[in-house]
Amino acid sequence: MQRAAIRARQLVQQILTFSRRQDLPLVRQPLTPLVEEGLRLLRSLLPAGVRLHASLVDGLDVMADATQVQQVLMNLCTNAWQSFAGRGGEIAVSLRRRELDATEAEVLGGLAPGPFACLSVADDGPGMDADTERRIFEPFFTTKAPGEGTGLGLAVVHGIVQAHNGAIAVRSHPGAGTRFDVWLPLLSSARPPPSPSSPPPAEQPAPARQQQVVHVVYIDDYEALVFLVGRLLRKEGYRVSTFDSGEAALQWMRNHPQETVDLVLTDQNMPGMSGLDVARELRLLRPALRVVMISGHVTDALVSEAAELGVFRVMGKQDSMDALGSAIRSLIEETRAA
């Protein structure tokens, strides 16, 4: 059931990504942790008999959208193991640094020469002939039987890589497997040295003690999720107030004006008040309060309207409670730092 749900989510993401063609919010990201997280999820999905090997180097920072970089990895690896057609096989994922000269950069699609991160996914499957290789990135082109493929996976990969100012290359021969290389421009790893006159940082309180003073309000109309998120965050040591509607959360805040709240997490699509409605009311009630909106369909219009209302972050829905917990902890860390 979990695999089927994740596969369904991936398919919907592919369709939305392909249809929206939106500008991505790119931020500086260390690439290796993104690939490692994607590989952990992938290992739970691989069929029996498929072996996965990884060789990754650290210290590669790129401008990227984390979710979509992981989608590139998942799509390429899924395409690889599906090519085995039920037989066993091997997939090798590597991440390395490469300096591209002017000739290589031009061949890859008019890139600027310089330092790049190269993410490679190779398999020992049946490979492709020249005609298939030429059409591999066409939308809706697939060599799979009806009902087994959408023809969107590699088209989405190609679009994402281009939106990241990178390039993708494929090498394949019948009977000799296939290899995809994704090239993303590297950022400088240089960091300004600390000023010698700067005072040493103040000693930070212990994490557990910090967590106890952070108060999170969580709003979602799905009662089971409200219960699970509340339990998850309380086990982490945070103080949590949970509500199954925006109306209930706002009424509680109006009745408890002296209660300190550090972060509000609200679902967007709810009966009655939506997440945007909640953010609009909170802006009047507590203008400095950080609000994070969670939605299964993040669009440019939603992000724009949320920004106008002062929403701190618009976040897509996660695959699992572990992923949701990790995302919420990161948001809390940002709030605590601020």
Express each pLDDT in 175-215 by its tens digit: 888 999 999 999 875 444 444 444 444 444 444 444 446 89
Is 332 buried (19+), middle (13-18) or exposed (0-12) by CB count in 10 A?
Answer: buried
265's tokens: 């997490």
Residue 92 has pLDDT above 60, yes or no: yes
Distance CA 331, CA 317 (A): 14
CA distance 257 to 240: 16
Contacts for 175 with CB less than 8 Å, ≥ 6 apart: 126, 127
Nearest residue to 74 via CA among 149, 4, 163, 7: 7
What's the mean pLDDT in 51-76? 90
φ/ψ of residue 275, rounded to 5? -60, -40
Rounded CA Rg of the chain: 23
% of residues, the chain, pLDDT over 90: 30
Per-residue pLDDT at 197 = 41
Kindly state the percentage of the chain with pLDDT values over 70.
80
This prediction's pTM: 0.53
CB 90 within 8 A of CB 123: yes
Mean of the per-residue pLDDT values for the chain? 81
Mean pLDDT to the nearest integer, 224-240: 85
> Is the CATH number of domain 2-185 3.30.565.10?
yes
DSSP state, residue 338? -
Residue 111: band (very low, low, confident or very high) from pLDDT cuts 50, 70, 90: confident
| pLDDT surpassing 90 at residue 243 | yes
Chain-centre distance of CA 265, in angstroms? Answer: 18
Tokens linked to 114: 């310089």
Q: Pick the closest to residue 291 from 327, 332, 263 (CA basis).
A: 263
Lowest mean pLDDT among 77-81, 134-138, 147-151, 272-276: 147-151
The structural domains of the chain, with segments of one domain joined by +, span 2-185, 207-337
134 or 183: which leads in pLDDT: 183
The CATH T-level fold of domain 207-337 is Rossmann fold (3.40.50)
**Mean pLDDT on 225-232:** 86
Spatial distance between the Cα atoms of 291 and 284, rounded to a whole number of angstroms: 13
More confident residue, 197 or 121: 121
Q: Distance between the two ends of the chain, CA-based, in angstroms?
A: 40
